Amino acid sequence: MDKFFKWNGEKVEFEPELLGIAAYGELWDRDGTKEKKRARQDFAFIWFMMSRDTENNYLGITNMDKRLATLIEDVYEGKTDPTADPLVVKGLKLYKERNPKNGFEQQADFLGEEIELLREAVRSMDKSAVSATGTLLLKPAEFAKATSEISNMVKEYDNMMTLGIEKRNQDSNIRGGGSVGAFESAASATYLDE
């Protein structure tokens, strides 16, 4: 699906062939306006929510609930919950099915979730709590250790994302310097059997 969408620096664009895929064609056809604003919003939402492309500005929001809330605000101005729309849900599911995550991306997702949990734990630490004797309950060394652990996990997350992107790019390349087209599969390409 990533081959059908592209971020041009201002908005999500798509290849016309995308409309030939039933789930996305239905979203497009449902919007009866000339500008197709809602359909374009739905396509942008699906891409921002699901794409692993480095051009995706929302990729850094690793908590999917937070990403969803942010996208509802940014894409739909808080007026629409796209997860209540069966056609958008159908588009999300299709995108996910057609772009399975490789092992590096799965590991990055796991790390992203752990980073968010650890960040929340650090944020909720009462840094000013004192004991009956007046000493801080939270030792500076404990706080420093937790923030250092977050930093190390973020570096590992970035590394896993980079490896995942490299693996995805490697999987879409074919011998001779070409790349697999949107409707092609590298595994079934007959010219690989030469």
Chain segment 45-85, per-residue pLDDT in tens: 999 999 888 788 898 888 888 999 999 999 999 998 999 99
Domain encompassing residue 89:
2-98
81 and 110 part of one domain: no
- In whole angstroms, give the CA distance from residue 58 to residue 64: 10
Which of 74, 98, 122 finishes a domain? 98
Higher pLDDT, 119 or 38: 38
Query: Does 36 have pLDDT greater than 60?
Result: yes
The answer to whether residue 183 is domain-embedded is no
138 and 76 part of one domain: no
131 and 164 part of one domain: yes
Higher pLDDT, 113 or 168: 113
94 and 107 part of one domain: no
Query: Does 41 have pLDDT greater than 60?
Result: yes
Strands (E), 38-189: none
The answer to whether residue 190 is domain-embedded is no
Task: Tell me which residue of 22, 42, 21, 18 sits closest to 31, measured CA to CA.
Answer: 42
Task: Tell me which residue of 47, 43, 51 sits closest to 19, measured CA to CA.
Answer: 43
Higher pLDDT, 31 or 167: 31
156 and 92 part of one domain: no
Other beta carbons within 10 angstroms of residue 160's beta carbon come to: 20
The answer to whether residue 180 is domain-embedded is no
Q: Take residue 17 and report the two structure tokens written for it.
A: 């062939």
Phi-psi region of 122 (alpha: psi -120 to 50; beta: other; left: phi over 0): alpha
88 and 109 part of one domain: no
56 and 81 part of one domain: yes
Model confidence, pTM: 0.69
Q: Take residue 153 and report the two structure tokens written for it.
A: 């996990």
68 and 151 part of one domain: no
